[in-house]
Structure formats: C-alpha cells, structure tokens
C-alpha cells in the first residue's frame, strides 16, 4: 500500500479521537468518518501544492543536451538512484542502464542524457567518484555513427 494511505489513516484516527473528546455523545463511527474526511481534504490540498513544483521538475529539458557514458556502476543500482546523483548537477532527461539480453542482469554501465552545462559539471565532479562502494567512470558518450566511420577509415 501507499505511504499516503497510512498517513491519511493515522490522521483520521487522531481526528476521530479529537472529535470524540469534543463531543463524547457522538457515535465513534461518525467521529472516525468525520476525521477521515477532514484528513483527506487536508492531504489533498497539501499534495496539490507539492505537485506543481514536482511537475515542473519532471518536464524534460529542452535546451542543448549531452549524453554521458557511466561505467563501473554497481549492479544493484536503479535508474532513480543514478538520476538523483546526476540531477544534482543539472536537469536529467533520461537514464538507460544496460542489461544483458540473456540474463536480464545489469552490466554495470549506462547512459545519461542531461543538459550540456550539467553534463560537463557532472563529468568533472563524478569521474572517479565513489558511489555505493564503486569508483565511477564518467565520459562523454560516443555515438554509434562515429564508431562506424572510424572503423571504415
């Protein structure tokens, strides 16, 4: 279940106890439902004010971008953790952690698309950075087209 459900439930119980203390002749079920309604209204107002800031941060960055190669990632790391790490240096559009086709396990490297200025900062700060007991290798990703032209030359 979601964390928000438990928060609303706890606030509803506290609200029911408070309402029951104010009006002891009120039925316990009515006090609980009144507390639940008040809690859900408060929680929905609070969550709406928080989502406007979160929605703007979830919009993809539209300026100049750069794709970074990140090597020596821990195998247990998730996209969200990598996005949070690189997000400290600039807006992150996407995180792709490479998996083995046969086993489905992560291979320990991936690609991050982010703003160009943020990518340059992240490259300088996170290269040779210890992340979950692994030393990251961060470079600018080479496109597959440039690899093909180099091999043909």
Span 65-140: which CATH code?
Answer: 3.30.70.330
**Pair 141, 67: CB distance under 8 Å:** yes
Residue 120 or residue 61, greater confidence: 120
Rounded Cα–Cα distance for residues 78 and 33 (Å): 40
Question: φ, ψ for residue 75 (rounded to 5)?
Answer: -70, -25
Name the residue with higher pLDDT: 59 or 83.
83
User: Facing residues of 111 across strands?
Assistant: 69, 96
For the chain, first and last CA: distance in Å? 58
- Residues 111, 96: contact at Cβ < 8 Å? yes
Residue 20 reports pLDDT greater than 80: no
**Higher-confidence residue: 56 or 82?**
82
Give the separation between CA 118 and CA 90, rounded to whole angstroms.
4
Give the pLDDT score at 148: 57
Compute the average pLDDT of residues 131-137: 94
What integer pLDDT is reported at residue 54 of this predicted model? Answer: 43
**What's the pLDDT score for residue 150?**
59
Can you read off the two tokens belonging to residue 85? 């790490």
* Domain spans, the chain: 2-47, 65-140
Under a CB-based contact definition with an 8 Å cutoff, are residues 61 and 94 in contact?
A: no
Q: What is the pTM of this model?
A: 0.58
Average pLDDT, rounded, for the chain: 81
Q: Above 80 in pLDDT, residue 17?
A: no
């Amino acid at each position: 279940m979601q964390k928000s459900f438990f928060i609303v439930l706890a606030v509803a119980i506290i609200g029911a106890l408070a309402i029951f203390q104010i009006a002891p002749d009120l039925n316990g079920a009515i006090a609980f439902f009144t507390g639940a309604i008040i809690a859900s209204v408060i929680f929905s107002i609070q969550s709406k004010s928080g989502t406007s800031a979160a929605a703007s941060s979830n919009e993809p960055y539209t300026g100049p971008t750069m794709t970074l190669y990140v090597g020596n990632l821990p195998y247990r790391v998730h996209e969200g953790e990598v996005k949070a790490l690189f997000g400290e240096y600039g807006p992150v559009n996407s995180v792709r952690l490479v998996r083995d086709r046969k086993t489905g396990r992560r291979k320990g490297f991936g690609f991050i698309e982010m703003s160009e200025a943020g990518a340059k900062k992240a490259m300088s700060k996170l290269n040779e950075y210890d992340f979950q007991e692994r030393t990251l290798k961060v470079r600018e990703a080479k496109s597959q087209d440039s690899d093909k032209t180099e091999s043909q030359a």
